[in-house]
Amino acid sequence: MNNNINNSIDNDINANGNGKDSNDISHHIQPPTQLPNQPLPFDAPSWVLKLTIGLIGMFAFLQVYSIQAILPVLMVDFSATEVQAGMIVGATILAIAIMSPFLGMLSDAVGRKSFIVGALLFLAIPTALIAQSPDIGWMGMWRFMQGLSVPGITVVTIAYIGEEFEGRAVTELMSFYVSGSVLGGFMGRFLLGHLHELIGWRAGYYVMAAMTLVGALWVGKMLPSSRHFIANPNFRSAMQTLGEHLVNRYVVTSCLLGACVLFSLVGCFTFINLHLADTPYELSTGALANIFAVYLIGVIITPLSTTLLRRFGSARTVRVAIVISMLGVLLTLLTPLWGVVIGLAVMSTGVFITQAATISYIAVNVKKGRSLASGLYYMGYYAGGTMGAWLCGIAYARGQWSLTVWLLLFVQVLALLVASIGMVKKTARAN
């Protein structure tokens, strides 16, 4: 199944003239540096490594969106407005956007595994401190601190996979990483929603912090150390690579797509909670947590998306996925609860396919400064999420869920334009 992604990406590259497009700087990108007289023995990943990569993705996103399940409760506890509630979600996302390129550059200089384990350990600290928040401002600060550590997990893991493996192994491990991140997004919301009903959200965050510590210990023990990492501490070289990435069609297109994707996902899954907690639904935190079970679709859809990639290629797959997502958003306007749930399931399906295709697109087409390229992608991705939390909060305050839906559709139309223009094949000029 993972052969399909690899073949489709190879076809995309071949269609671009084997990377020798005169309008594209990607032909200047050099292959990974090898040690003298030492071939790179890219081993097939073991099931333990696959599990570990999946768990890294899960623990990275366990905390990012967990707060969405208890937003209605926090608005009452802290007397917060819709916009303030949205920005509690956006605080973590903003920090991720700010730190992603910098941690990518730092990781390129000092290493991979130590960064991942250290970031997981750091993440547990503000997670526990959230439980002590006396007001909405302090909670926002601790949420921001959570976000500072996440790029040290996400950005560096993608770079680690790209360096230590090649071909089918890369796409296979990427699918496990994305599936794990989807599972983490669901588990955070699901657990905290039910933990609040059992022991309260403050005690629930202590449990979440303990889980993150366990995850850090597992990764420290089970993740193999880098064998193919070559340190690049030269700041001037890093800035040169940054300049190349900023005009690289693959990087720029992926960043713009990522921004639109997370804008839609954060805006939808943040304010649907307020919509469903209001009349006529009046769902409890536990019931809202159960709604997020639609996220589990992503665990299944992400590996299956390889079939779409094989048949249609990256560009067409992304366009189809965006249209699917738009249809799902429209379905949430239905009054029956089952209609809203179906809409969320369809919407998230489109988002997960888009995300999987975009991550593979940038991972395969960018060979130099992988960590920095991943950092730029996540900067755009989470900047879009921050804007989604803010602007959708304003839309919900002014026009409730219906106005929020139209804003989401507008952004998805922008994503469709980006995919249609930025991922279009270009004809190579004969040398």
For the residues 70-79, what does the mean pLDDT come to?
A: 91
pLDDT of residue 370 exceeding 60, the answer is yes
91 vs 170, residue with greater confidence:
91
Distance CA 392, CA 32 (A): 42
Helices of type H across 332-369: 337-365
CATH number 1.25.40.10 is the correct assignment for the domain at 18-30+43-224+234-422: no
Break the chain into its structural domains and give their ranges: 18-30+43-224+234-422
Among candidate residues 166, 150, 231, 178, the one with its CA nearest the CA of residue 9: 166
Distance CA 115, CA 229 (A): 13
Task: Say what the pLDDT of residue 204 is.
Answer: 95
pLDDT of residue 398 exceeding 70, the answer is yes
- Report how far apart, in Å, the C-alpha atoms of 166 and of each of 162, 174, 223, 308, 342 are: 7, 11, 17, 21, 37
37 vs 341, residue with greater confidence:
341
Task: Say what the pLDDT of residue 323 is.
Answer: 93
Written as one letter, the residue type at 398 is: R
Task: Retrieve residue 349's tokens.
Answer: 């399906």
For the residues 266-295, what does the mean pLDDT come to?
A: 89
Written as one letter, the residue type at 10 is: D
Q: What band does 28 get if pLDDT is binned at 50, 70 and 90?
A: very low
CA Rg value for the chain: 21
**Distance, C-alpha 108 to centroid of its chain:** 20
How many helices (DSSP H) and strands (DSSP E) are in the chain?
Answer: 15, 0
Task: Say what the pLDDT of residue 302 is.
Answer: 66
Please check whether residue 381 is in contact with residue 263, taking contact to mean a CB–CB distance below 8 angstroms: no
The most distant pair of C-alpha atoms in the chain lies apart, rounded to whole Å, by 69
For the residues 290-317, what does the mean pLDDT come to?
A: 75
Please state which of the ranges 69-78, 81-90, 96-105, 116-125 shows the lowest mean pLDDT.
96-105
pLDDT of residue 182 exceeding 90, the answer is no
pLDDT of residue 99 exceeding 80, the answer is yes
Task: Say what the pLDDT of residue 337 is.
Answer: 92
pLDDT of residue 336 exceeding 50, the answer is yes
Helix axes 235-246, 370-422, angle to 10 degrees: 10
pLDDT of residue 407 exceeding 60, the answer is yes
Please check whether residue 67 is in contact with residue 74, taking contact to mean a CB–CB distance below 8 angstroms: yes
Task: Say what the pLDDT of residue 220 is.
Answer: 93
- Report how far apart, in Å, the C-alpha atoms of 262 and of each of 42, 51, 174, 257 are: 33, 25, 18, 9
pLDDT of residue 33 exceeding 70, the answer is no
32 vs 257, residue with greater confidence:
257
pLDDT of residue 324 exceeding 80, the answer is yes
Task: Say what the pLDDT of residue 176 is.
Answer: 86
Among candidate residues 343, 176, 362, the one with its CA nearest the CA of residue 258: 362
